[in-house]
Amino acid sequence: MLSEELIAAAQALGRSLRATREAQAYFEAQARLQLDPEAGPLDERLSSLYEELTARQRAGEQLAETEVDKFYALRNQVQSQPLITARDSALSQLKSYLAQAAADLSNNLGVDYTALARRA
């Protein structure tokens, strides 16, 4: 159970992160992608196929070559989609910014914030 003071401080950090240029650029890129009738479903198909294949691999299944080829073909198609690459680029910049904020938090606390706070 977190104290009210801790919740307020965490909310303030979250709100300030949301207001950064990096976060706004990512949200806008993601919104443009989701509204696009071609790129949006393509992105979702790749994500769900990736989740499915990695889950099966984790369960010990040996994937058929045709399935892996299908995944890479879809990934190539996705990587040539400008809206998807724009979103990925915005996310990459946002991640760098978040990593810096988390590193500052870790330095102040003397513990690795990212390692401890990540949920499995």
Residues lying near another protein in the complex (CB under 8 A) = 2-3, 5-7, 9-21, 23, 26-27, 91-92, 94-95, 98-99, 101-102, 104-105, 108-111, 113-114, 116-119
Residue 62 Ramachandran class (φ > 0 left, ψ -120 to 50 alpha, else beta): beta
Distance, in Å, from the CA atom of 79 to the CA atom of 50, rounded to the nearest integer, reads: 14
Cβ at position 66, least distance to another protein in Å: 26
Closest distance between another protein and the C-beta of residue 100, in Å? Answer: 8
Q: Which two tokens stand for residue 31?
A: 């919104």
Nearer to another protein, 40 or 113 (CB): 113
Cβ-based nearer residue to another protein, 58 or 118:
118
Nearest distance in Å: CB 31, another protein: 11
CB–CB of 86/27 below 8 Å? no
Residue 35 structure tokens: 């509204």
Which tokens in the block code for residue 40? 């949006």
CB of 46 to another protein, least distance (A): 15
